[in-house]
Structure 1
């Protein structure tokens, strides 16, 4: 017996009795009413899965218009319900009309019991599918809300920042590809999220991908997905980031870290607006808004043969340059206060404040690590604070590219960062050359900087 509720509406009590007897052994709940006027006041109609509705109720009338009227009324009150129309006067045009009005199926009287049960079972399966789809849609909407929750804020009111936000406001309303550039730690992902949040796709997902953390041999699987059995660990079909972002925004951070081979694969997906999963030959169309970001000089990389010119044109319809913190006059203390309040609440150190000398020290610093460095500086100061006032000595700031105390580097992490920074300075910020000098891979260098928060 299926856990389903069925309502039968017919002015012939013999028909009601026959259907009740037939269906009660197949379905948990079977209700009957003989007057369709009761539909308007019928309690909990939305709880029912199936309605069997007669098409003619007035004596001598067999046009089916009455049934069509009540079909519309039922659909207004319970649009997901499956409605099966019943009539002793069969006509193809009447059946077609009922189906166009939203009926699930059509049954002629007298009916064949087996055929009627099969029709009701099909209607039950349809109703079950509609319920599952509704639940999945609700879960999808909830998931999108969670994914799109922006826990970070664009803080500041400097002229440089407002100029960027003005450009973002204009560009967001379009669907063009955007390249966000700027130094490490300037908040490029926040700008990308602002572009998404102000766009026509704002109710869809925003999928960020750190291209620097994806190894070359996993690039296609991560971005385009794979089919079951396509490689050793592919135990099931898996959608890639392009499919996950379908309808929404795909944000590719550190786009300058891609090899020429992976650049070609990315270019093909962007141009064709389709992807092919690893191990499959089927093209899957994708509809995304693409935003990329980098701290590299892509024009120079093109000139050096390290970045494809055609890919740069594809991702760079509009370029948004995020200013470094040192150029955002007035925003340093605003951001410092913002993070101070955030970490005071996080670590339970209410009443903690900065004195004037500490503020002057923060204002006089160049912040080579930008907002990310300020964030870590404020968090570290709050955690290590012993009184209610943060003084200049509570802030360890970068000197000539290295985070050190007055006595020099005191931890392995500080020494490691000192060596990395020195290598980057000696090689004019070239990651590959710095990594070679240090005897590590570019990927390892990148991961170390990420871990340190640079």
Structure 2
């Protein structure tokens, strides 16, 4: 016969823990609450309940106020309440006792209990109390998670102020792939040289996806040090290591429900790649110092400047991780292979920077436009943007000149095979020009791979980018 107090068969919460020294009370609570929780764990000994907290945090804990024979002052219950809150400060605890009193209830609330119920209980009253308490726990967790996610994603995605521009056939193919891949949840791998706009493609894929209302979280794997890789991606708990002064949510968990953009994924060391693969395959992460996994629901977009033949080298990149990432592959053409887009890009950047710096709109003479279009732009769109910004700032005449864009030197050509370059020697001892020449040599030697060039120069990637910007590379 179905009990009158039975609740809806749709399970609302995950776990409830009941701690009481009376086995009949434990049986009654388990039968009553089994339709409200996926798991109802019962314990006669409070120590056993504490050990269970290390395995999985419950939505709510029902805790007896008195365990010793004849005890009525709730001292034991208050002691174990303090121990529970020490283990889990956000625990939701409902005290239960056969010796209820308003003073005991008030004291329990002062000490951190969420609610109080007396024995013998009313089934309807207990169900309502426990349901409300469990919902409170869930709302607390969601609020904490959202605050942590907001802290992680507060910085804008790189390049977010620049649209993806181009009308060339090469870009038409890119737009077509974006339109077809974006509405799906398929992982996407974006290939292309540095400065081609891979992060812009990632942003466009997210904007056109079903996850557009959720976050896009970006992480540059080329800039993450090996010792911070797990903390950055998976998060950590307070005390996990020396500088872990508080819990920190990882990038994968911050992207839950949204999109995770893994930039420079080709620079991830081989021995760290299995950890990323495991998280993506199992769709869960374990923060550093924690022992409970956290489920994640993310769509992954990855980008790399590595050539396809380098990605296919199992000594540089795990093939099972590659298969996980490149369900759809989008290759961005370098700017020299879509020169017809250069006038459009120049117009956009000049207009944007003229507005930003309060400069007048200057003419772009045909000979200057032709020189810009003929230039090889080894730094691709990023280099063109920097050149346009510098021209807007430095130009004095009513019309731009080639010198404003620093194109007075011969057009550089990228060697088919990088050869060792001599250090700058000779009569020119100008430090600025020497630094620019060294940067150019290092970039050419490594096929414009920023990470490798920075490593040889003894610089960080950020420092190299700053120097490239300074010299218009």
TM-score with structure 1 length normalisation? 0.64
CA distance in 1, matches of 2:297, 2:273: 19
Distance in 1, Cα, partners of 2:134 & 2:294: 27
**Further displaced range: 338-347 or 124-133:** 124-133
Report the structure number with the largest CA radius of gyration. 1
1:170-189 matched pairs, under 5 angstroms: 170-189=180-199
1:448 corresponding residue in structure 2: 463
Give yes or no for the alignment of 1:419 onto 2:438: yes
Whether contact under 8 Å (2:305, 2:449) holds in the other structure is no
- Please list, as runs of the form range in 1=range in 2, the aligned pairs for 1:25-424 lying within 5 A after superposition: 150-303=160-313, 305-397=315-407, 399=410, 401=412, 412=431, 414-424=433-443
Residue 25 of structure 2 corresponds to: none
2:194–2:448 CA contact under 8 A, matched in 1 = no
Q: Per-residue deviation at 1:450?
A: 2.3
Shift of 1:365: 1.1
- Provide the residue aligned with 2:7 in structure 1: none
Q: Matches of 1:131 and 1:309 in 2, distance apart?
A: 41
Shift of the alpha carbon at 1:433? 6.6
User: Aligned pair in 2 of structure 1 residues 159, 198: CA closer, same or farther (>3 Å)?
Assistant: same
| Structure 1 residues 249 and 423, CA gap change in structure 2 (3 angstroms) | same
After superposition, what is the alpha-carbon deviation per residue over 1:358-414, rounded to whole angstroms, capped at 9, x for unaligned? Answer: 212111212111110110000001111123221222110374649xxxxx9997555
- Alpha-carbon distance in structure 2 between the residues aligned to 1:181 and 1:363: 23
1:366 and 1:209, CA in 2 relative to 1: closer, same or farther beyond 3 A?
Answer: same
SS of aligned partner of 2:236:
coil
> Per-residue deviation at 1:208?
0.9
For 1:267 and 1:176, the matched residues in 2 are separated by: 16
Q: Output one character per residue of 1:101-151: Cα deviation in whole Å (capped at 9) or x when no partner.
A: xxxxxxxxxxxx979x989xx899999999999999999999989958943
How many equivalent pairs are there? 334
Looking at structure 2, the residues matched to 167 and 368 of structure 1 have their Cα atoms a distance apart, in angstroms, of 25
TM-score w.r.t. structure 2 length? 0.62
Contact 1:431-1:445 within 8 A present in 2 as well: no
Distance 1:342 1:418, change over 3 A: same
1:267 Cα deviation (Å)?
1.1
Check 1:448–1:267 CA distance in 2 against 1; reply closer, same or farther (3 A cut): same
* Unaligned segments of structure 2, at least 5 residues: 1-100, 106-114, 118-128, 414-426
Give distance in 2, aligned partners of 1:435 and 1:150: 25
The structural deviation recorded for 1:423 is: 3.1
> What SS does the aligned partner of 1:422 have?
helix
Instruction: Give the match for residue 66 of structure 1.
Output: none
The 8 Å contact of residues 181 and 294 in structure 1, kept in 2 or not, is answered as: yes
Contact persistence 2:285–2:294 (CA under 8 A): yes
Unmatched runs of 5 consecutive residues or more in structure 1? 1-112, 403-407
Separation in 2, partners of 1:306, 1:189? 23
How big is the alpha-carbon RMSD for the aligned residues of Structure 1 and Structure 2? 3.9
> Relative to structure 1, is the Cα distance of residues 263 and 181 closer, same or farther in structure 2, using a 3 angstrom cutoff?
same
What is the DSSP-based 3-state SS (H/G/I as helix, E as strand, rest coil) of the residue aligned with 1:354?
Answer: coil
In the alignment, the residues of structure 2 paired with residue 265 and residue 388 of structure 1 have an alpha-carbon distance, to the nearest angstrom, of 57
CA distance in 2 between counterparts of 1:141 and 1:419 reads: 41
